[in-house]
């Protein structure tokens, strides 16, 4: 932490800061410039006490130096983590595709979808039982009935199941039926939920909040790891920006960044990330190119009749096309233009 004194700071104000840095458990190091003085807080003390000095007299601002997260960091664990869900490995050499409907709507709808996505190459099944909906008048999910249907689908297809948990009260029942628990984007900073999920023996899929920075996302994961659950997969699903043509702006570079900063696997959700059927294949390929460890994609037998997220859901044929697109090579880079004449002679 570095405390920048203002140009008009008095000697007394500088001394006050030096003293407060000692009180907070750090060692103060003073650098006196021609215009201003800076005081570094060295060692490890109580971070928030230095942060609060921002309002002490004579202080311009306080600048953090180190990253605030620890256990999720590659400094603590340089090798990549692998999260295992009932035989499926996320974070290993292969890309894991999770597919299924936004909401479980009926036994038939889910089983048909489960078989279809398995045939097309999906490794896991998704399906919402408890749905976070912007409006109280929208379909809120089938709850326990949906969990039972998911369980059955896993039994008949062998695909491990992930479903969203919205409340601490539902954790136990969901753990009985699902193989992985999802924390939705709007609950990324529901700390009560995170703290309870930290004590659960199930892997967690942690979606990035629509207005969360990468740092805040990693700190949400830190709640899980510091509480005892290190089976965490991060999921980029788009952030809110001024662009209205797509539902969200999917931040694919953040996948590369999160993998640089953290050892946790990171997957992408092109369905919520774009909100548009027609963009899913291209964005899925891009996510894999940027080294995502997996994809989670919404698939529905008949998107135009879906009770939720129809516009971004693929039908079975569409999902098949996406899976095939993932196997295609990248477009070739242009070689140097052949029409150019004497160009090559001068190049070393």
**What minimum distance in Å lies between the beta carbon of 22 and a second copy?**
14
Distance between CA atoms of residues 312 and 283, nearest Å: 13
Output 145 or 240, the one with its CB closest to a second copy. 240
Distance between CA atoms of residues 135 and 61, nearest Å: 42
Output 11 or 342, the one with its CB closest to a second copy. 342
- Name every residue whose Cβ is closer than 8 Å to that of residue 333 and which is 6 or more positions away in sequence: none
Nearest of 167, 169, 173, 132 to residue 150 by alpha carbon: 173
Output 145 or 311, the one with its CB closest to a second copy. 311
Distance between CA atoms of residues 160 and 175, nearest Å: 13
**What minimum distance in Å lies between the beta carbon of 169 and a second copy?**
6
Output 19 or 145, the one with its CB closest to a second copy. 19
**What minimum distance in Å lies between the beta carbon of 308 and a second copy?**
7
**What minimum distance in Å lies between the beta carbon of 182 and a second copy?**
14
**What minimum distance in Å lies between the beta carbon of 79 and a second copy?**
16
301 HSE (CA, 13 A, CB side): 12
**What minimum distance in Å lies between the beta carbon of 173 and a second copy?**
13
Output 36 or 202, the one with its CB closest to a second copy. 36
Output 38 or 173, the one with its CB closest to a second copy. 38
Tokens of 156: 């008949």
From the number of C-beta atoms within 10 Å of its C-beta (0-12, 13-18, 19+), residue 38 rates as: middle
Output 11 or 341, the one with its CB closest to a second copy. 341
Distance between CA atoms of residues 38 and 20, nearest Å: 14
Output 66 or 145, the one with its CB closest to a second copy. 66
Residue with tokens 């410039």: 33
- Name every residue whose Cβ is closer than 8 Å to that of residue 218 and which is 6 or more positions away in sequence: 69, 72, 73, 234, 258, 261, 262
Helices 214-226/252-261 angle, 10° precision: 50
**What minimum distance in Å lies between the beta carbon of 323 and a second copy?**
7
**What minimum distance in Å lies between the beta carbon of 40 and a second copy?**
5
Which of helix, strand or coil describes residue 189? coil
Tokens of 117: 């996505």
Distance between CA atoms of residues 98 and 298, nearest Å: 9
């Amino acid at each position: 932490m570095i405390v920048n004194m203002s140009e008009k700071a008095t000697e007394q104000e500088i001394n006050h800061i030096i003293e407060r840095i000692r009180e907070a458990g750090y060692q103060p190091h003073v650098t006196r410039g021609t215009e201003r003085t800076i005081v570094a807080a060295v060692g490890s003390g109580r971070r928030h006490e230095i942060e609060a000095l921002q309002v002490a007299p004579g202080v311009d601002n306080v600048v953090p130096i180190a990253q605030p997260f620890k256990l999720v960091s590659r400094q603590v664990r340089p090798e990549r983590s692998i999260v295992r869900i009932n035989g499926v490995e996320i974070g290993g050499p292969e890309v894991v595709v999770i597919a299924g409907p936004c909401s479980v709507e009926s036994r038939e709808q889910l089983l048909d979808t489960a078989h279809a996505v398995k045939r097309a190459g999906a490794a896991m099944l998704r399906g919402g039982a408890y749905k976070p909906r912007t409006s109280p008048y929208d379909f809120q999910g089938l709850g326990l009935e949906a969990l039972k249907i998911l369980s059955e689908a896993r039994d008949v297809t062998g695909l491990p199941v992930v479903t969203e948990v919205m409340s601490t009260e539902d954790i136990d029942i969901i753990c009985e039926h699902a193989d992985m628990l999802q924390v939705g984007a709007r609950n990324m900073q529901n700390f009560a939920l995170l703290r309870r999920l930290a004590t659960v023996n199930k892997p967690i899929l942690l979606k990035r909040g629509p207005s969360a920075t990468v740092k805040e996302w990693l700190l949400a994961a830190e709640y899980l790891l510091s509480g005892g659950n290190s089976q965490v997969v991060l999921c980029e699903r788009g952030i809110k920006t001024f662009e209205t043509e797509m539902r969200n702006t999917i931040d694919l570079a953040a996948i590369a960044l999160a993998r640089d900063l953290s050892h946790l696997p990171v997957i992408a959700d092109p369905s919520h990330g774009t909100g548009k059927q027609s963009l899913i294949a291209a964005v899925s390929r891009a996510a894999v190119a940027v080294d995502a460890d997996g994809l989670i994609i919404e698939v529905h037998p008949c998107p135009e009749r879906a009770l939720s997220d129809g516009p971004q859901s693929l039908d079975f044929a569409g999902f098949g096309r996406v899976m095939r697109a993932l196997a295609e090579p990248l477009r070739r880079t242009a070689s140097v233009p052949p029409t150019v004449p004497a160009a090559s002679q001068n190049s070393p």
